[in-house]
């Protein structure tokens, strides 16, 4: 049985953090709170690791066209 890509995102809403890989080499991590059909994302408790240092970004509204992939983070 096939799974619709965007519906998979429902399974990780408000649960364990996801990793979002963005175009341009950025990778952020946060709790997914919402999304829409363009893959615009609302993320909470967002952290970005740059050169080994963690920058806390709080809540983020990401424009979908910047996303390469979303993955539940492995812990």
Rounded to a whole number of angstroms, the minimum distance from the CB of residue 54 to its own copies is: 14
Q: How many residues are recorded in the chain?
A: 75
Rounded to a whole number of angstroms, the minimum distance from the CB of residue 52 to its own copies is: 18
The CA distances from residue 46 to 1, 4, 7, 65, 71, in Å, are 33, 26, 22, 18, 14
Q: What is the DSSP letter of 8?
A: H
15 binds its own copies (CB under 8 A): no
69 binds its own copies (CB under 8 A): yes
- Tell me which residues touch its own copies (CB under 8 A): 1-6, 8-10, 13-14, 22-24, 33-36, 39-42, 46, 56-72, 74
């Amino acid at each position: 049985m096939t799974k619709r890509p965007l519906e998979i995102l429902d399974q990780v809403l408000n649960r364990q953090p996801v990793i979002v890989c963005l175009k341009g080499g950025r990778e952020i991590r946060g709790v997914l709170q919402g999304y829409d059909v363009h893959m615009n994302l609302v993320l909470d408790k967002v952290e970005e690791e740059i050169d080994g240092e963690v920058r806390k970004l709080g809540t983020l509204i990401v424009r979908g066209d910047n996303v390469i992939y979303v993955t539940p983070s492995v812990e």
